[in-house]
A = this chain, B = another copy of it.
C-alpha cells in the first residue's frame, strides 16, 4: 500500500489505454498458450482492427510467434500464434541465512539459469550484480524480481531477518528496483509458496486458500480473492502465535504453539520413540512407525489434532475453503490427511477441503514468477476474468 499520492496521471490516457490493451493480449496469450487472432478477439473483446497492428507489434517484440495455419473444418484456417514464454523472464531470489540463491525463470516457471552465492557484504549489491549476470543476454526480457525472505518481510517483527543480515526497515526492495529498473517484490517465503500454489499448483482452481507450512516454525500463507494478503504489518499467517496452548506465552521470536508442533519438535520426539539417528523426514517416519507402534500412533494423532486446531482457527477467521499442507506436513499419507480432514470438518462451520500442496520446492519459484508478472500489470484496473 504505497500508492498514496494521486499521481496526476489521467485515468484513461492514450498511453494507459494502449498499455491495457497490450497487457490484456499478453495475459490472455500467456494463459492460452497457442491461439489465433480470432480467439483473441473473443477473449479480450478487442476489435480485429485493433488487434491486427497490436499483434504485429507483439510478434516483432518476440512475445508471440506465428505458427502455421491451424486445422479448421471450414473457412479460412486460423493463423495460429504461440506465446513465447521466454519473452518474459523473472528473477527469483531466495535469502537464506548466509546464502542467497538466485534463479532466472521464464513465465512457465522453467528455470533458465540458477546460482547460489555466499552472502558477503551488502545484500542489495549482491542481488544487483547476480541477477544481470545470470540473465545474460536475456536481461532486456526481465520483467520483475521477487525476493523471498524468511520470516516477516516488512514491518512487524522481523524475527528471522537478522539471521540474513537484514536491517529492520531497510527498503531493500526499493533499492534493488531503482538499480535494476524493474518491479521488485519482497515477501515472506510462505506467502510466495501460497502464491505459487494458487498460480499453478493445488489452488489454481480456487480464489481463496490457506497454505500451512510446517518447517522449523509453522507459518501460513493466505490468498483471498485471488491475492496474497499480508495484513497491515505483513504478519498475517503468523499462526505459530495462536493462543491454543494454555501453557507457554510471550513472543521471544517463536510462538508458543509452533515450539511444540514444528518439524523440529516432531523430530526430537521421534528420536525418543525410535532411538537412532534423527530422521530427515520426521513426519514421514512418524507416519510409517505409527503403522506398527502404538505410542507412535497416539503421538501422530496428537500431532494431527494440534494441526487441525491450527487449521480450524484459520478457517473460522477467514474461511479459505481450501487448506494446503506444505513443508513437513506434505509427508502425511492419505490416511493421515483424511483424518485431518475429518477433524477439521467436524469443528468448522463452513465446508473446507484439506489437501497436500503439490509444488514442493518449486512453490516459491512459481510464486515469484506469479508475483513478478502481476507486479508488471499492477496499477491497472483488473480487467481480466480470473481463471
Give chain A's interface residues, CB within 8 Å of chain B. Answer: 1, 3-4, 6-13, 17, 20-21, 24, 42-47, 152, 155-157, 159, 206-208, 220, 222, 224-225, 227, 229-244, 249-251, 255, 309, 312-314, 316-322, 346-351, 383, 385-386
**Cross-chain contact A157 with B350 (CB below 8 angstroms):** yes
Contact of A45 with B8 in the complex, beta carbons under 8 Å: yes
Instruction: Provide the bound-state CA to CA distance between A134 and B229, in Å.
Output: 40
The closest CB in chain B to the CB of A317 belongs to B317
Question: What B residues does A208 contact at CB under 8 A?
Answer: 231-232
Q: Which of B229, B235, B251 contacts A225 (CB 8 A)?
A: B229
Contact B10 A251 (CB under 8 A): no
B251 touches A319 (CB 8 A): no
Contact A349 B235 (CB under 8 A): yes
Is A8 a contact partner of B42 (Cβ separation < 8 A)? yes
Excluding A10-B45, A155-B350, A314-B317, 15 further A-B contacts by CB distance (< 8 Å) are: A1-B207, A6-B45, A12-B17, A152-B350, A156-B319, A159-B349, A231-B321, A235-B349, A238-B350, A243-B312, A243-B316, A244-B244, A249-B346, A251-B346, A313-B317
* 16 A-B contact pairs sorted by A residue (CB < 8 Å): A1-B207, A4-B385, A7-B45, A8-B45, A10-B46, A11-B20, A156-B350, A208-B232, A222-B318, A225-B229, A230-B319, A231-B318, A231-B350, A238-B349, A249-B346, A249-B347
In angstroms, Cα B224 to Cα A350, docked, is 20
Main secondary structure of the interface of A (DSSP, over half): loop
Contact of A349 among B17, B20, B157, B249 (CB under 8 A): B157
Q: Copies per complex?
A: 2
Contacts of A238 in B (CB 8 A): 316, 319, 349-350
Considering the chains assembled together, what is the distance between the CA atoms of A239 and B234 in angstroms? 21
Instruction: Tell me the bound Cα distance from A322 to B312 in angstroms.
Output: 23
Given contact pairs A157-B350, A350-B238, A385 touches B3 in the complex (Cβ within 8 A): yes
A319 vs B152: C-alpha distance in the bound complex, in angstroms?
A: 12
Give the most central of A156, A225, A230, A239: most B CB within 10 Å: A225
Residues in chain B near residue A45, CB distance under 8 A: 6-11, 13
Determine the distance from Cα of A291 to Cα of B108 in the docked complex, in whole angstroms: 65
Given contacts A8-B42, A11-B383, A227-B225, contact A206 B349 (CB under 8 A): no
Q: How far is the CA of A235 from the CA of B159 in the complex (A)?
A: 32
Query: Are B250 and A47 in contact (CB-based, < 8 A)?
Result: no
Q: Which residues of B contact A155 (CB under 8 A)?
A: 350
Residues of B contacting A250 with CB < 8 Å? Answer: 346
CB distance from A316 to the nearest CB of B (A): 5
> Which residues from chain B contact A350 at a C-beta distance below 8 Å?
152, 155-157, 231-235, 238
Are A385 and B6 in contact, CB atoms less than 8 angstroms apart? yes
| CB-defined contacts of A244 to chain B, threshold 8 Å | 243-244
Interface pair B241/A316, CB less than 8 Å apart: yes
